[in-house]
Amino acid sequence: MSADPGFAVRGGVLHAEGVSLATIAQVVGTPTYVYSAAALRAAARRFRDALAPVPRKALAFAVKANPSLAVLNLLREEGYGADIVSGGEMTAVLNAGMAARDIAFSGVGKTPEELAQALRVGVGHINLESEREGEVLAAIAVRMGRAAPALLRVNPDVDAGTHAKITTGTSDTKFGVAIGDAPAIYDWLAARPGLSLQGVAVHIGSQIMAPDPLEAAYRRIGELVAALRARGQGISHVDLGGGLGVDYRGGADADVAAYGAMVARVTRDWDVTLLFEPGRYIAAHAGVLLTRVLWVKPGEECSFVVIDAGMNDLARPALYDAWHDFAAVAPNGATMRAHVVGPVCESSDGFARARMIDRVGEGDLAVIRDVGAYGASMASCYNSRALAAEVMVEGGRFALITPRIAAADIRPQTLPEWWQGAALGRAA
């Protein structure tokens, strides 16, 4: 599957569907995240179609990958619910018109307030990360006169074979309860008034390209389901998490059809409703970060192309040494070897090291590709930089879906009131 089906060069200029990125830069400025509705829809349908062999299932987009209202709205139209990890994501999802029952609430550090909020709105499932969290949720539910629908997240101790910082299914990570402890914890939680424990959840990591670790984890979960049933527990739901990877260099993504076939095969006798929480697979290729070249400055080994997007806009390269293709919006066929760097005052603020890229010069527009997932959602205001704008393109139309927001408007600040007189005095 080639990257970015929504993006192609037409008449010498890179377009998002029918809209020139030069036009978007002119109207909205840079840096700006640009999403293709067609690319999002295509990936959402590919994933759903791949799971056709699974009879009873629900799809929940991992909101952390891209919480934009427009993205969530589109995925709701495509039949997706949401996997959330905070009260803020819950608000975003409900604002996008998704039904509360289509929400799975994951996350290793939910607060009692967030648990109560989840029960109030009536989320579909709360994925418990520990015995103690279940005990607290049960008490809240009893107080509210509810039964909290819950799954127990299990850590299967399987290495996903991905980057250490996005591995979640080995026993040394903070996620879930150890699979060996799961039966006893499950029995104890299932007996708590206030909890309606319906099954188990697993998620072993992200950017997983080979199906083997997923299959290994699911097989362990299958054994656990059988063991729990043998202990008299009724298991109706299993959440298989997300994690399918994409290729960031224009090659083949994780084979989603093979994944669907594997899931159908491994879970054939489980007799449960399966939940899926894809994030990256749905959104990564559907977005580019549109940026302008500020300076091209000579360097010892090769030039530095300084762009107006930084690690605060796109953290993945700095955090995980992630590769993202860099391309000129109006490529002229020539290339150059360069370091592509941002304006932030950190050596880790770089997007490419000594890489052959399209030749660009001062003032030219360029894109960083495949940033529809974990791009804007991980942005910060470091260096008091604005948060980048976001634009949705569909066919020949585009719309600003998130305005550029100055750092001062995101974090309104004040002096301690006892300093204010002095400060005003100084200013006068």
Q: Annotated binding residues for pyridoxal 5'-phosphate, as ranges?
A: 243, 277-280, 374
d(CA 325, CA 330): 15
Contact 391, 375 (CB under 8 A): no
Q: Is 162 in the site for ligand LLP (CB under 6 A)?
A: no
Q: Return the percent helix, strand and coil in the chain, to nearest 5.
A: 35, 25, 40
Residue type, 266: V
CA-wise closest residue to 238 among 151, 148, 149? 151
Q: Which residues are catalytic?
A: 345
Query: Among 316, 324, 339, 369, which residue sits at the site for ligand LLP (rule: CB under 6 A)?
Result: 316
Contact 293, 300 (CB under 8 A): no
Q: Is 67 in the site for ligand LLP (CB under 6 A)?
A: no
Residues 241-270 vs ligand LLP: string with x where CB under 6 A?
xxxx--------------------------
Q: Is 237 in the site for ligand LLP (CB under 6 A)?
A: no
Binding positions are 243, 277-280, 316, 320, 346, 374
Query: Among 62, 118, 128, 376, which residue sits at the site for ligand LLP (rule: CB under 6 A)?
Result: 62
Collapse the DSSP code of 132 into the 3-class scheme (helix H, G, I; strand E, B; otherwise coil) and give the result: helix
d(CA 170, CA 190): 25
d(CA 14, CA 36): 13
Q: Is 203 in the site for ligand LLP (CB under 6 A)?
A: yes
Nearer to ligand LLP, 192 or 316 (CB): 316
Tokens describing residue 97: 């018109």
Q: Tokens 């090769």 label which residue?
A: 302
Nearer to ligand LLP, 198 or 206 (CB): 206
Q: Is 106 in the site for ligand LLP (CB under 6 A)?
A: yes
Residue type, 353: R
CA-wise closest residue to 223 among 276, 156, 284, 279? 156
We find the least distance from the C-beta atom of residue 228 to ligand LLP, in angstroms, to be 20
Nearer to ligand LLP, 194 or 241 (CB): 241
Query: Among 50, 166, 217, 344, which residue sits at the site for ligand LLP (rule: CB under 6 A)?
Result: 166
Q: Are strands 148-155 and 195-201 parallel, antiparallel or unpaired?
A: parallel
Nearer to ligand LLP, 151 or 365 (CB): 151
Count other Cβ atoms within 10 Å, centred on residue 412.
Answer: 6
Query: Among 51, 58, 65, 328, which residue sits at the site for ligand LLP (rule: CB under 6 A)?
Result: 65
Contacts with ligand LLP by CB under 6 A: the residue count is 21
We find the least distance from the C-beta atom of residue 224 to ligand LLP, in angstroms, to be 17
Q: What residues line the site for ligand LLP (CB under 6 A)?
A: 62, 65, 83, 106, 166, 168, 203, 206-207, 241-244, 277-281, 316, 320, 374
